[in-house]
Amino acid sequence: MSVDPSPTVREPLVWVLRDERPGTGNQALGVAEALERPYVIKDLRYSPIGRLPNLLLGSSLRSLTANSRTGISPPWPDVVISAGRRAASVACYIKRVSGGRSFVCHLMYPGPLQSALLDLVAVPAHDKVVGPNVNAVTGAPHRVNKTLLADARETWRLPWKHIRRPFLGVLLGGEGRRMPFNDTDAERLASQISDWYADSGGSVLITTSRRTGAVATKLLEHLRNNGPEPAVYHSWETVDENPYMGILAVADTLVVTGDSVSMLSEACAAPGSVYIYRSPKFASPKHLRFHDSLFRMGAARLSTEIVPGEVSKAINPAGDIARMIREKLAWR
């Protein structure tokens, strides 16, 4: 009797518990994509009970709507990737009912009790969280990778083919607690953009976010009066396609406001050099810790010192977490 020398090996079953908030859900998807294994998405929709603290929810599906609960059923996966406070009780439930067989990687700190039940809890290093199974990474995981960037370059190649290089991409966030971004900051940032233009003679591509608000109008006003008219300007309020990913993909230099860990993390995965704009009154401790970690790594600089042609070191938090999963499971 002959024996098949290369028997079929079953691919591990990977579930992504996708939170209904896109920013949180995309973190889990980014890790799943970096893991480079087939995965199944389980969309989580929450009932009003989901507002309860994790201490009360424990390891249960009580936070989910009836429809969402039907998708959380056997066969239980080999790996679960979840993100956010509300998904933690669902992840712990799967860990419990699978008899501990499902390996659970959770993003963002769920609290000490649930953290102790899970296999890998990945948190941003600047949050300074310690506890059972906690592992720190630089920045926030995301979905920006070489494939996504290549697709974006192709998408925007023709629309932007007549725009003069080099490109300065500007990603605008907004104000936050202890993170001012006002009209004075708009004037200061416009001056830095004008200095870059005077040195390079290139083109400016700008996109805003929902928090940017009226300060974007002031920025445009200063640029039109004193510096380059943006070759591309996207306002969050418009229905036009957001060129955000295209700007990441093609910009030689990126300036990102310091309020958004997500935008900075994504920018640091793009090929351009990265600079952080922050107000002199910027005082959020955890954001400052994140900025400082990027400075130490050579992944970013302050926008007061833009150097045309400089290359920043790339960071890949989703890839770092995927590597932790592979190492813990001894995957090749």
**In the predicted structure, residue 202 carries a pLDDT above the cut 90:** yes
Report pLDDT for 8: 57
**In the predicted structure, residue 122 carries a pLDDT above the cut 80:** yes
Report pLDDT for 308: 79
For the segment 34-80, what is each residue's pLDDT rounded down to a tens digit?
999 999 999 999 999 999 998 899 999 999 999 999 999 999 999 99
**In the predicted structure, residue 188 carries a pLDDT above the cut 50:** yes
- How far apart CA 155 and CA 263 sit, in angstroms, is 20
- Tell whether 45 and 162 lie within a shared domain: no
The residue ranges of DSSP E strands in the chain, in sequence order, are 14-18, 39-43, 79-83, 103-107, 120-124, 134-137, 167-171, 203-207, 232-234, 253-257, 273-277, 301-302
Looking up residue 167, the CATH number of its domain turns out to be: 3.40.50.2000
**332 band by pLDDT with thresholds 50, 70 and 90:** low
Mean pLDDT of 212-224: 91
> Does a structural domain hold residue 2?
no
Number of domain units in the chain:
2
Q: What is the DSSP string of 181-244?
A: --HHHHHHHHHHHHHHHHHH--EEEEE--TTTTTHHHHHHHHHHHHSPPPSEEE-TTS-SPP-H
Domain span at residue 88? 14-138+320-329
- Tell whether 163 and 274 lie within a shared domain: yes
Mapping DSSP to helix (H, G, I), strand (E, B) and coil, where does residue 39 land? strand
- Tell whether 188 and 281 lie within a shared domain: yes
Report pLDDT for 209: 92
The tokens describing 323, both together, are 């590597």
Report pLDDT for 2: 41
**9 band by pLDDT with thresholds 50, 70 and 90:** low
Report pLDDT for 244: 97
Least confident of 106-110, 223-227, 307-311: 307-311
- Tell whether 120 and 165 lie within a shared domain: no
Report pLDDT for 310: 84
**4 band by pLDDT with thresholds 50, 70 and 90:** very low
Report pLDDT for 311: 85
Reference 207, options 256, 161, 270; nearest CA is 256
Report pLDDT for 243: 97
For the segment 244-255, what is each residue's pLDDT rounded down to a tens digit?
999 999 999 999
- Tell whether 112 and 195 lie within a shared domain: no
Looking up residue 69, the CATH number of its domain turns out to be: 3.40.50
The more confidently predicted of residues 66 and 132 is 66
- Tell whether 180 and 300 lie within a shared domain: yes
> Does a structural domain hold residue 126?
yes
- Tell whether 296 and 166 lie within a shared domain: yes
The tokens describing 175, both together, are 């104000």
> Does a structural domain hold residue 9?
no
